[in-house]
Structure 1
Amino acid sequence: MKHLTSIQRFWISLVLVIPMLIQMLAMPFHWNMPGYTWIAFITTTLIMLVAALPYWTSAWAAFKHHNANMNTLVAIGTSIAYFYSLFAMITGRPVYFESAAFISVFVLLGDTMEERMHNNASNALKKLLDLQIKSAEVLRDGKFVQVPLDQVQVGDIIQVKPGQKVPVDGVITSGKTTLDESMITGESIPVSKKVGDDVVGSTINGDGAIQFRATKVGKDTMLSQIVEMVKKAQTSHAPIQNLTDKISGFFVPTVLIIAIATFVIWYSFLGATLVQAMLFAVAVIVIACPCALGLATPTALMVGTGRAAKMGVLIKDGQALEEINDVKTAVFDKTGTITVGKPTVTDIIGNQDQVLRVAASLEASSEHPLAKAVMNAAEEKQVEPQTVTDFAVVEGKGVQAVIDGQQAFVGNDKLLADYQISAGMKRRMATLQDEAKTVVLVGLAKQIISLIAIQDAPKPSSAQAIADLKARGLKTVMLTGDNERVANAIAKEVGIDQVIANVLPNEKAEHVKALEQNGKVAFVGDGINDAPALTTANVGIAMGSGTDIAIESGSIVLVQNDLRGVVKAIDISKKTFSRIKLNLFWALIYNVIGVPIAAGVFVGFGLQLSPEFAALAMAFSSVSVVTSSLLLNKAKIGGTEPVASSTSQPA
């Protein structure tokens, strides 16, 4: 059975346990399944072989090292229930096969969830590798030919046409273009590139053709380094010490000692028969069976994560849920996380309709993101572009054309050398630039008539989310590849405590590690460039509108593109983890009360607990733990439910 996965073992065991479930449900109606004892024996034996055997193996390995863990609890509980039931079946007594069977099924459910988590981690790495193209146009014998990527060497001259991906890292030797480097820097606006500039593999070329010399290939490229960092972060994360394992460390030996002592005392000193003494000992084992203890954590996790999902917060594993409970610092990427992720027009200085008409008319033919921002603003104001003539690109400055018989232009501040601008408008331009906004100048007939300020603005909910986190005692940090002026302006607007700017992906993980010296860190991001930081942080939180790689790398996903989900994740964690501790308390208190009764301490007062009633008490403790977990559905989380967002996407 070793070749079976946890998922396969779970489904096989679940099918096998159905007859025992039917019998349990039918008992209050005094109906007994014909041949039930033999059916229970056969199905439980199969479940023991399929499900429980790995736990017995693990428990034995722990025993040899003088340790006890959750697997010890499972092994003891299932083996005692099974072998006593086997004895009871032979001697005509009531059997308890269902206890052994149901314990195995419940524990396997947790293993199934963990296996799915590991599969997600593997998918994240696969998607990172899929970003890389398989071939490149390399100069060979005086002409460009397609060669497999693994044959590209350092020093090769490579050609990249408009719209293609850059195959490897290098330096431009010919041509100029714009590159979408959002996967590396997180910056949504494409970057202009010319001869001598660096290019990064798997970034997307704009509308220009370039040639570049390869400087890094294979495992040395930045994308490959990101992949390796994600692998290292995922494998180096030590599994959290489960609270149940800590309890089992002293719980299991204590129960076994009490059971043995009960048998010896009754048989050797109190005149009980061998069977009577064994029944007292079995009652102790059965009532202390770890079913409720095993349910205490997974049921709370299931309800808590289910409640979170309804609120737009997907929590992938119990470790993340427990880790975020102790987070001291929340670190955020900027573009697409705190901000909307696309440039928009924020200010128009001058006659709005006239300005947008001129700007939109000239920008209608451009695919640049700043041009798109202008066109979107014109569309919102219902301003229609006009036909222009004599359209031309002014190198490094902007564009110009004739509109309504007048020379018009749209461009950057380099146009100031050629055109006149009023002192007041010049001061206003400086103010906008101090706010880290990109300023576009619009003019007619050698006069600058307007300024258009464009910025990737913060999401409306970001400031409130940051304030809520700070109210819960968390330090907030922005970690971004953007320039310091932009980062500081956005940070000031939303209330971020600390800014770390101009950071590359391979540096993000290092900064996260440094911040962990002051306590546990949660990192929130949405891009491919955030994957190493997401997996390095104690808790990685991915935006649902982000890339697949970010979503797979994060242990928590905010389905709605709303940072208030981080606040809800923390609140859910605190409520769920508190409920887990309460569940463990109730699971143990039954043993504190029930074990002495099962051991026959109160027989003189007419209070005795047979194995049958011990099993009933054990079942009742399980019901109480499940009920306690279900109450999480009524707990108040974050004050209000998340507001639907037009930018939200399924994760």
Structure 2
Amino acid sequence: MDCAQCAVGITRFLEKKGLEEVSVDFQTGEAQFVISNAAITVEEVKKGITKLGYTVSKESDNSLRGASLKLWISLVFTSPLLLFHVLMAFGIHYPFMHNIWISFILAAPAMFIGMVHFGNSAYQSLKMGVPNMDVLIFTGGTAAFIYSMIGLIKIDENLNFFETAAGIFTLVLLGNWLEKKAVNQTTSAIKSLANLQKGSARRQLPDGRIEDVEAAQIKLNDVLLVSAGEMVPADMIIISEEVLLDESLITGESMPVLKKTGDLAIGGTRLFDGILEGKVKAKGRDAVVGNMIALVKMARNDKPALQRFADKMSAIFVPVVLLLSLATFLVAAFLFDISYQDALLRSIAVLVISCPCALGLATPTAVMVGVGRLAKSGVIIKGGATLEALGNLKTMVFDKTGTLTTGEFTISEPLTSRPDDAAYVKALCYQLEKISAHPIAKSILTSFESFNNPEILPVFTKVWEDKGVGVSGIDEKENLYFLGNWPAGKSKTPNADLFLLINNEVRASFIISDKVRTEAASVISGLKARNISTLILSGDNESKTKKVASELGIDHYYASKLPSEKLDIISRYSNEKITAMIGDGVNDAPSLTRASVGISISNASQMAVQSAQVILMNGNLSKLLEAIDISKLTVTTLKNSIFWAFSYNIVAIPLAMAGFLNPTWGALFMAFSDLIVIGNALFLNYRKLF
């Protein structure tokens, strides 16, 4: 693809074929779609794209080899013509500079390359019904060439514009080459992640022998060995003893992480010392890195509102410019009595100085760089629209347990009137909580694991969980068991946090303590410094929620809320202003989905991660501030780029119509206008945060 409009054209073609969720990316040269109609196959789609003049390959190839060859051939022959033009502008003239045959010979290679290259692209875009920038370039360059050919036939040096025609094609080829080179840099985050899945590994065979294999040859359940300094080749369950892993490339966390037997070693992390032995759990697209790549690409495909607006403008840009060019010629020649030669040059200048690609590239390049910088910092954003919303955030809502607190609970001894009942109560709690993924349930399972003794327990016929309330069970004698919050409707709440009831009678209670995360206070302070209001939305009781809110200086809090009540509160806030919620539990999933932006931490429940649009990979809240700051910078960058793209065309086109810019300079300015937009996006990688 030669420009962003090519991607628009292919998108429309695929949509006309009945494909759904179509996304074509000019930056990476990738197309994604869903076939819901059995009447068309992938092979037929490939053939259709090929007929449009594009090459379809399995792997994305943004190679510059072909573009480089065309550019250098054109530059070698066109450079003397451009030099003649500059010298004559300074009053330096030599007879051979005006020789129309010399101009023709020097211009011919660039003209041939340009007419084939831009002509083919222009034809394909017209065939798709989405005229692109190359229509303007081909029309302008060809008009100058035809006019010059008339001069060649008449041997009239006053009609010699071969330098203009060749200069247009050569300078635009130069701009395209620089643009592709710059665009490739905007996808550096994806390339960095993809490189983590390459390389080789050492596989241990059943007979104890070790063999070297490529990463692509690794299979599930293979036992792999990793030495100090080497990269973990796939997601593995650790078999060996404790090891230290560098997860900075995945999570952005610089400190090494201690992993134990049974823990997950993420592919792409690096072993500090010793030997790691592990069994492959996931690889390729199913691994953590593979999922990160998929999410980064998903973010690129989800367009923010500003990009959708720019796409609409660029879709009508080329027809409007063609009409302006024709109007320029007619008005100049017939209304102002300007010579046909000057009128033609003005109309050609209008064609070649116009730049729809700057509009098409302004937002996707900024989004790609912003999403890439976030990925390198250990923050995954699932959509460009999400990035835009996060950059304009007004309210941040926190779940308390496991989000503002560590989620590592200390469970007290059972408070019961029957002290000899403690072992039975702990075994009963362990059995009931086995079905729950709630952080408190996990702590109970850890604390009471040694008391797991099914022989002393009744046989349960049914066990279920009510999200945000507790777990219940019925045994074979129809006895009802409940472990959770104090039941609604009972007159008085005892001074405890968790209650075990048998047939609606309290058998035991527990006091639960939890620590506030060490980074939580600085995060809340940072949000306030950014004029973002904060509140807690928790299912925990009033006293504990109030204590955390007071300790952290959070503006408002809601306590003892069920998932349905949380959903209502989030809906109200999100309807009023852009609101984000960060949570980690299954009961948070509906609220994360309903919030303007749902945020989850990587060690949260699977449902919370799937419901969120933003994932903090290292589970550290401090990354939240970094995510907001990078999003703000990205939104500012894309606004600046769109402003530049519009301003450039608004100023440049009238100047060309008035005759202040000749076509050669117009082509040069147009070629570099794209680079300003891309350069502005790339600068986002180096801008300082808040």
Deviation at 1:453, TM superposition (A): 5.4
Q: What are the Cα deviations for residues 490-524 of structure 1, in whole angstroms up to 9, with x where unaligned?
A: 33333332223444444444322211243111122
**Aligned residue number for residue 402 of structure 2:** 336
Deviation at 1:330, TM superposition (A): 1.0
Answer whether contact 1:239 1:319 (CA < 8 A) is retained.
yes
Q: 69, 79, 101: which one pairs with 2:135?
A: 79
Bigger Cα displacement from structure 2, 316-325 vs 270-279: 270-279
Q: 370, 386, 394: which one pairs with 1:304?
A: 370
**Which amino acid counterpart does residue 331 of structure 2 have in structure 1?**
I
Q: What are the Cα deviations for residues 232-254 of structure 1, in whole angstroms up to 9, with x where unaligned?
A: xxxxx997354536876998898
**Aligned residue number for residue 526 of structure 1:** 584
**Which amino acid counterpart does residue 370 of structure 2 have in structure 1?**
G
Q: What are the Cα deviations for residues 195-248 of structure 1, in whole angstroms up to 9, with x where unaligned?
A: xxxxxxxxxxxxxxxxxxxxxxxxxxxxxxxxxxxxxxxxxx997354536876
1:471 partnered with 2:518? no
**Aligned residue number for residue 334 of structure 2:** 268
**Which amino acid counterpart does residue 675 of structure 2 have in structure 1?**
V
Answer whether contact 1:373 1:454 (CA < 8 A) is retained.
no
**Which amino acid counterpart does residue 301 of structure 1 have in structure 2?**
V
**Aligned residue number for residue 666 of structure 2:** 614
Q: 628, 631, 635: which one pairs with 2:683?
A: 631
**Aligned residue number for residue 298 of structure 2:** none
- Three-state SS of the structure 2 residue aligned to 1:327 is coil
Mapped partners of 1:438, 1:555: distance in 2: 32
- Three-state SS of the structure 1 residue aligned to 2:521 is helix
**Aligned residue number for residue 563 of structure 1:** 621
Q: What are the Cα deviations for residues 279-334 of structure 1, in whole angstroms up to 9, with x where unaligned?
A: 31231232122222322222222222222222222223321222222221112223
Deviation at 1:29, TM superposition (A): 5.5
Mapped partners of 2:586, 2:126: distance in 1: 41
**Which amino acid counterpart does residue 567 of structure 1 have in structure 2?**
L
Mapped partners of 1:44, 1:284: distance in 2: 17
Answer whether contact 1:524 1:540 (CA < 8 A) is retained.
yes
Deviation at 1:611, TM superposition (A): 2.2
Gapped regions of structure 1 (runs ≥ 5): 57-74, 117-236, 349-358, 380-384, 395-410, 415-429, 441-450, 603-608, 639-651
**Which amino acid counterpart does residue 80 of structure 1 have in structure 2?**
L
Q: What are the Cα deviations for residues 126-148 of structure 1, in whole angstroms up to 9, with x where unaligned?
A: xxxxxxxxxxxxxxxxxxxxxxx
**Which amino acid counterpart does residue 70 of structure 2 have in structure 1?**
Q
Deviation at 1:375, TM superposition (A): 9.7
Answer whether contact 2:350 2:653 (CA < 8 A) is retained.
yes
Mapped partners of 2:398, 2:611: distance in 1: 15
**Residues 343 and 577 (structure 1 numbering): CA distance in 2 closer, same or farther, change over 3 Å?**
same
1:487 partnered with 2:545? yes
**Residues 573 and 269 (structure 1 numbering): CA distance in 2 closer, same or farther, change over 3 Å?**
same
Deviation at 1:576, TM superposition (A): 1.8
1:582 partnered with 2:640? yes
Mapped partners of 1:457, 1:283: distance in 2: 68
**Which amino acid counterpart does residue 554 of structure 2 have in structure 1?**
I
Mapped partners of 1:21, 1:278: distance in 2: 31
5 Å-filtered alignment, 1:61-460, equals: 75=131, 77-85=133-141, 94=165, 240-242=305-307, 244=310, 258-272=324-338, 274=340, 276-344=342-410, 367=430, 373=443, 454-460=512-518
Structure 1 vs Structure 2 CA RMSD: 5.2
- Three-state SS of the structure 2 residue aligned to 1:496 is coil
Gapped regions of structure 2 (runs ≥ 5): 1-12, 31-53, 56-60, 79-105, 150-161, 191-301, 414-421, 434-439, 459-482, 487-492, 501-508
Answer whether contact 2:303 2:384 (CA < 8 A) is retained.
no
Q: What are the Cα deviations for residues 434-471 of structure 1, in whole angstroms up to 9, with x where unaligned?
A: 7x76699xxxxxxxxxx995334332222221221122
Deviation at 1:561, TM superposition (A): 0.8
Q: What are the Cα deviations for residues 504-562 of structure 1, in whole angstroms up to 9, with x where unaligned?
A: 44444432221124311112223444333333222222222224443343332221212
Mapped partners of 1:452, 1:255: distance in 2: 75
Answer whether contact 2:427 2:448 (CA < 8 A) is retained.
no
**Aligned residue number for residue 573 of structure 1:** 631
Deviation at 1:573, TM superposition (A): 2.0
Mapped partners of 2:425, 2:316: distance in 1: 77
1:599 partnered with 2:646? no
Answer whether contact 2:136 2:322 (CA < 8 A) is retained.
no
**Residues 493 and 547 (structure 1 numbering): CA distance in 2 closer, same or farther, change over 3 Å?**
same
5 Å-filtered alignment, 1:539-558, equals: 539-558=597-616
**Residues 484 and 44 (structure 1 numbering): CA distance in 2 closer, same or farther, change over 3 Å?**
farther
Work out the number of aligned pairs and report it: 429
**Which amino acid counterpart does residue 537 of structure 1 have in structure 2?**
A
- Three-state SS of the structure 2 residue aligned to 1:20 is helix
> When the two structures are superposed, what TM-score results if normalisation uses the length of structure 2?
0.50
**Which amino acid counterpart does residue 622 of structure 1 have in structure 2?**
D
Q: What are the Cα deviations for residues 373-395 of structure 1, in whole angstroms up to 9, with x where unaligned?
A: 5897899xxxxx9x999x9789x
Mapped partners of 1:33, 1:337: distance in 2: 67
Bigger Cα displacement from structure 2, 495-504 vs 27-36: 27-36
Mapped partners of 1:540, 1:622: distance in 2: 34
Deviation at 1:82, TM superposition (A): 3.9
**Aligned residue number for residue 24 of structure 1:** 71
Mapped partners of 2:566, 2:125: distance in 1: 42
Mapped partners of 2:676, 2:514: distance in 1: 51
Answer whether contact 1:16 1:43 (CA < 8 A) is retained.
no
Answer whether contact 1:462 1:562 (CA < 8 A) is retained.
no
Answer whether contact 1:364 1:371 (CA < 8 A) is retained.
no
> When the two structures are superposed, what TM-score results if normalisation uses the length of structure 1?
0.53
Mapped partners of 2:443, 2:311: distance in 1: 56
Mapped partners of 1:341, 1:282: distance in 2: 68
Answer whether contact 1:340 1:457 (CA < 8 A) is retained.
yes
Deviation at 1:617, TM superposition (A): 0.6
**Which amino acid counterpart does residue 580 of structure 1 have in structure 2?**
L
- Aligned-pair identity in percent equals 33
**Which amino acid counterpart does residue 617 of structure 1 have in structure 2?**
F
Mapped partners of 1:292, 1:388: distance in 2: 66
Bigger Cα displacement from structure 2, 75-84 vs 31-40: 31-40
Bigger Cα displacement from structure 2, 534-543 vs 239-248: 239-248
Mapped partners of 2:303, 2:23: distance in 1: 21
Mapped partners of 2:423, 2:146: distance in 1: 90
**Aligned residue number for residue 281 of structure 2:** none
**Residues 303 and 256 (structure 1 numbering): CA distance in 2 closer, same or farther, change over 3 Å?**
same
Mapped partners of 1:239, 1:579: distance in 2: 13
Answer whether contact 2:346 2:662 (CA < 8 A) is retained.
yes
